[in-house]
Copies of this chain bind each other. A is one copy, B any other.
Amino acid sequence: MPEEVRRAAGLLERRWTVSILWASYEGASRFNEFRQSVGEIPPTTLAQRLVELEDAGLLERAVIDARPPRVEYRLTEEGLRLKLVVDALSAWALA
């Protein structure tokens, strides 16, 4: 198994990651939107995952200087491309 694939798998192999991606594909972009959309995820874990996904280049954290200021996590190209995987999983699960 190629190293890159192992790294990619390592991302998914942590609890809630798939749900967080799903939420973002559904339009979630703010911390509390994720919380609500994902369900029972503890905020500690959500915070951790968001950092990981950002580090992996799937999400971008942006502090928006409005009032009140807010934080948005936006999908990158790469993050969007990963939707194919989530879709494949979803198709499998529903078949």
* A→B interface (CB under 8 Å): 1-2, 4-10, 12-19, 22-23, 38, 81-82, 84-85, 88-95
Q: With a CB–CB cut-off of 8 A, which chain B residues contact A92?
A: 8, 81-82, 84-85
Are B9 and A89 in contact, CB atoms less than 8 angstroms apart? yes
The answer to whether B1 and A89 have CB atoms under 8 Å apart is no
How far, in whole Å, are A13 and B91 apart by their CA atoms in the complex?
A: 17
Knowing A9-B19, A13-B12 are in contact, say whether A4-B94 is a contact too (CB < 8 A): yes
Residue in contact with A14 in the complex, picked from B6, B8, B13, B88, CB distance below 8 Å = B13
Q: Is the CB of A84 within 8 A of B93?
A: no
In the assembled complex, the Cα of A19 lies from the Cα of B5 at a distance in Å of: 9
